[in-house]
Chains A and B, each alone.
Chain A
Amino acid sequence: MNALNQYTDLYEANRAAVDAGSAPVLNRLRPEALDALKRIGRLPDKSDEGFEKTSVNDMFAPDFGVNINRMSLPVDVASSFRCGVPNLSTLLGIMVNDRFMPTATLVGNLPQGVTVCSLAKAAAEQPALVERYYGTAARADNAGTALNTLLSQDGIFIHVGKGVRLDKAIQIVDIFHSAFPLMAARRVLVVAEDGAKVAVLKCDHTQTGSERCLASEVIEIFAGRGAEVEWYDIEESDGSTSRYSQLYARQEGGSSLTVCGSTLTNGVTRNEYHIDVCGEHTVTHLSGMAIGSSSQHIDNFSVLRHGACHGHSDQLFKYVLDERSTGAFEGSIEVCHGSRFVEAYQSNRNILASKDARMHSKPQLLIYNDDVKCSHGATTGQLDEKAMFYMQTRGIPREEARRMLMQAFMADVIDTIALEPLRDRLRHMVERRFAGEKAGCRDCGAGC
């Protein structure tokens, strides 16, 4: 079954409604996206290279509702949510399904030169600024991205002006709340102008009971010359949630970018990281962590393209898969012709903790230049029996030893996070996760 048709048909039948619920700058790209989708004809499935273990077509196939008429929710979900990080004061924005809701921290609280608001609102108020970036990093010829461009009506816009260094982290809480199967096309645009600094923390939650939901996310990040951008993403949804997230980042000269994505609980997830290094003397850290149990499926895909000299990049992805969970990793380092003195490393380490867990790993190098140092490594195995034995001889029960070792295994991914309070928080979450519990935030009644 071709899952794409239901969405293109929906758009064609409701063009006016989609446009009405959004802004002209966003609407402008829809016809082009529709053309691209018609040309491509389908969403990727397992027969496509790079999608061996994840069929995007199957993710989009169920009959999801799409809230194109922007119907508002009967309850105020946002007010009951407290996704706090102890000792970290953040500027908090909440996204319920595909609608952005600012909180008090964002109103009148933002430093000069910083914008954090709804994307549709920004597109209406500052069309020139949004137009300059919107849809320019995301690949129009990618089916998933084109579909998001076709249907996304709102999202989050984060803009940090030239030389502004934002001390507080921006936190985005994504919540699914729906009584029927829902697809939400979310869009995030992060622009850090030259010399700016920003850290964004995003977490995903689901409150749909057992209704299925699907998030289509496209995130565009622009790091100007000398800018520092950090992007942390923690997925803590549930088994009924599918997520197709595509992150596109563009790095200018002298910039540094840190991206860390953690999947703790989910249904089916595919994360794509497309990072384009366009300027010289850049630093890029890309990391990911996946903890799978029951029948979770986690697929991370990265393309880190070095299009300029003197780039340094590190990629680290780790998986612990238990029960019937499946993991997939495909990551590539691409060094373009003429990009000299590039150092790029990639590592993928996986632990299979049960006989039904599966891991598919495909690290890649595409090197078109000789003056480089590049390497990748991948291992799939199990916990070290000797270490387990050692711990047991010290009186630590086997289960406990196992948990400790798994946690230690994830430590270096957590260490890539620059914000210390967030590191501590994630460590705690991972600990709880391995203990089979959901993390649960202080003061939060949501119980996600």
Chain B
Amino acid sequence: METTQSIIRVENLKRTFVVGSEEVHALKGLTFEIKKGEFVSIMGSSGSGKSTLLNILGCLDQPTSGEYYIDNISVRQRTKNELSEIRNRKIGFVFQSYNLLPRTSALENVELPLVYNPLVSHQERREKAQYALEMVGLKDRMGHMPNQLSGGQQQRVAIARALVNDPVIVLADEATGNLDTRTSYEIMSLFQNLHEQGKTIAFVTHESDIAVFTSRTIFLRDGHILRDEQVETKSAEEALKNLPVDNDY
């Protein structure tokens, strides 16, 4: 039953912050599941708790209560080092502002997650990074520094970096937030390609016109799930073709 294998499962997930003497309930008991091969967008306005959720899903933060399983491993009560290892082996991050190391070639940026995995040899690291860059269509830009790349290209390098450790899930945080419409669509098209190749992707955004490119949307409001529904996926490639030409400069 490979297609129904659960990648992410959260049960009654709560996260409470203590700010001064007040308790802020950012997440008020979320329960959902992301299965292997899904392309999920997590939507919500600011303050809805989507960043908090993403931090927990990314094992950067721990829930106050509730269970979180990634790849059927419970994340509760893990040490910092164990969480680091889970991030290193199971998760690929894509950030809004790319977060590439400056003055470091695309190839070396992509290699970075594998540097922290002692099981991967130097040779293997290089090969995997090259392959990941090929997947995002930057085969001929491997030696370029981030400042020699356009925003879209930088985000592709970041996506390659997220893919290089072959994670069970790619977590994207407003990955198109810094890009113009055309480049956004290009990136979404890339994500759709990866999805077709079987990657599991969770895409956090507040833009509904980006969410339409995913296959399922979870709406958050005030720490609750407002809606969780399958959506009709629009093709990003189609959308790209329909863009007015004058938008291209």
Answer yes or no: do A and B interact.
no
